[in-house]
Chain A
Amino acid sequence: MTPSPETLPLLRTPLHALHMELGARMVPFAGYSLPVQYPAGLMAEHMQTRKSASLFDVSHMGQLRLAGPQAAGAFETLMPVDVIDLAVGKQRYGLLLNEQGGIIDDLMFLKRKDGIFVIVNGACKDGDTAHMQEKIGSMCQVIPLPDRALLALQGPLAVNALARLVPGVEKLVFMTGERFNWNGVELLLTRSGYTGEDGFEISVHQDQAENLARALLAQPEVMPAGLGARNSLRLEAGLCLYGHDIDQTTTPLEANLLWAMQKVRRASGARAGGFPGATTLLADHAGLTPPAGHFPSKKRVGLIARERIPVRDGAPLQSPDGKLIGQVTSGLLGPSINRPIAMGYVGAEFAALGTVVHAIVRGKPVPMEVSAMPFVPTRYYRGV
Chain B
Amino acid sequence: MTMKYTEDHEWIQLEDHEAAVVGITLHAQDALGDVVFVDLPEVGKSYAKGEVAGVVESVKAAADVFMPIAGEVTEVNEALRADPSLANSDPLGNGWFFKILIKDMAEFDVLMDEPDYAKFSAGA
Contacts and interface: CB of A to CB of B under 8 A. Distances in A.
Interface of A: 36-37, 41-43, 46, 228, 231-232, 308-310, 312, 332-333, 335, 362
Nearest to B55: A362
B60 A42 contact: yes
A232 B55 CA distance: 20
Contacts of A231: 60
Contacts of A308: 37
Interface string B35-52: 011010000000000000
Interface of B: 33-34, 36-37, 39, 55, 57-60, 62
A332 B39 contact: no
A42 B37 contact: no
Contacts of B55: 362
Contacts of A332: 59-60
A37 B34 CA distance: 11
Contact of A41 (B34, B37, B39, B62): B34
Given A310-B57, A362-B55, A37 B62 contact: no
B37 A333 contact: yes
A42 B62 contact: no
A308 B36 CA distance: 9
Contacts, number: 37
Nearest to B36: A333
Given A41-B33, A42-B33, A362 B39 contact: yes
A36 B60 contact: yes
Contacts of A228: 33, 59-60
Contact of B37 (A37, A43, A232, A310): A310
A43 B88 CA distance: 12
A231 B37 CA distance: 18
A312 B60 CA distance: 10
B39 A42 contact: no
A356 B15 CA distance: 45
Nearest to A362: B55
A232 B39 contact: no
A224 to B, nearest CB: 15
A333 B84 CA distance: 12
Contacts of B34: 41-43
Nearest to A27: B60
B57 A333 contact: yes
Given A37-B33, A228-B33, A43 B39 contact: no
Nearest to B37: A310
B39 A335 contact: no
A309 B56 CA distance: 11
Contacts of A333: 36-37, 57, 59
A46 B37 CA distance: 17
A309 B60 contact: no
B5 to A, nearest CB: 22
A143 B70 CA distance: 62
Given A308-B37, A309-B37, A43 B62 contact: no
Among A43, A46, A309, A335, find the residue whose CB has the most chain B CB atoms closer than 10 A: A43
10 contacts: A41-B33, A41-B34, A42-B59, A46-B59, A232-B59, A309-B37, A310-B62, A312-B62, A332-B60, A333-B36
